[in-house]
Amino acid sequence: MSTNERHYCMGIASANLSQQDKDRLAGHRAALLNGARWDTGSTVTVRFLDGSEDLKKRVKKVAQEWTAPGMANLTLEFRNNGPTDVRIAFEQGNGSWSYIGTMCRQIAEPEPTMNYGWLTDVSPEEELRRVVIHEFGHALGLIHEHQNPKGGIKWNKDAVVKDLKGPPNNWDLPTIENNMFKKYLPGEVTATNVDASSIMMYPIPKAWTADGFSAGLNADFSQKDRELIRSVYPQ
């Protein structure tokens, strides 16, 4: 794997946020989180806090795949000025993360609600597309697939901790617990069965599990991703 392929999207409580925000939103780790669902047909406003014009154009184009015909019945409206629901930063070294769904509306202007901590003007298109689809999945309310309550991954916790506590993630034990091992309650989410091909699934090597489960570095929507987003935001 390249360095960027070993980076993992952080759950919101693990991003570089104020302690007040962490305390208020603890337990909302990133199926779809029912309490953070947008109203069907909503316009979600978005603006960039920084980044070159070319990089912003690339991110915008990919993000809008979520709301293309036949996908979510939502509109992403990109604005140059605030206030907006989603605010995107490119703060290098702060990981890639996004608030889940409507949780972004709890964050005061002009703080970011989404960050791309390793995307730059020279990022390959496949890498950029993979990361942007994933983070905008969170922004529309989707959680990390391995935290789907319909799943039952048997973790080799020692191996997971060993790998994630080192570079490039450098996560502490609470961050690893929150992002890897905790699951949502069934009543909190709308979910399909666990989908190893989901764009919302972490890459999980076999060495991290005790039951042989693994998942690759998914770079596109799976069929179940498409079916889920259509079902929760129907036309």
Q: What is the pLDDT of residue 21?
A: 40
Q: What is the pLDDT of residue 18?
A: 44
Q: What is the pLDDT of residue 10?
A: 55
Domains along the chain with CATH numbers: 4-232 (3.40.390.10)
H helix and E strand count, the chain: 6, 7
The answer to whether 107 touches 36, Cβ cutoff 8 Å, is no
Q: From start to end of 69-112, where are the E strands?
A: 75-78, 86-89, 97-98
Q: What is the pLDDT of residue 191?
A: 83
Q: What is the pLDDT of residue 168?
A: 80
Q: What is the pLDDT of residue 48?
A: 98
What's the CA gap between 8 and 163, in Å, rounded? 11
Angle formed by the axes of helices 125-139 and 53-63, to 10°? Answer: 60
Handedness of CA 182, 74, 134, 14 (dihedral sign): negative
Written as six digits, the tokens of 13 are 């409580």
Q: What is the pLDDT of residue 184?
A: 83
What's the CA gap between 235 and 230, in Å, rounded? 7
Candidates 71, 228, 234; CA nearest to 150 is: 228
Q: From start to end of 27-100, where are the E strands?
A: 32-33, 43-48, 75-78, 86-89, 97-98
Which residues have a Cβ under 8 Å from the Cβ of 49 and sit 6 or more positions away?
87, 88, 89, 110, 112
From first to last of the 235 residues of the chain, give the pLDDT tens digit. 233 344 456 544 333 444 444 443 333 333 788 999 999 999 999 999 999 999 999 999 999 999 999 999 999 999 999 899 999 999 998 888 999 999 999 999 999 999 999 999 999 999 999 999 999 999 999 988 888 888 778 999 999 999 999 888 888 998 888 888 988 888 888 887 888 899 999 889 999 999 998 888 899 999 999 999 999 999 9
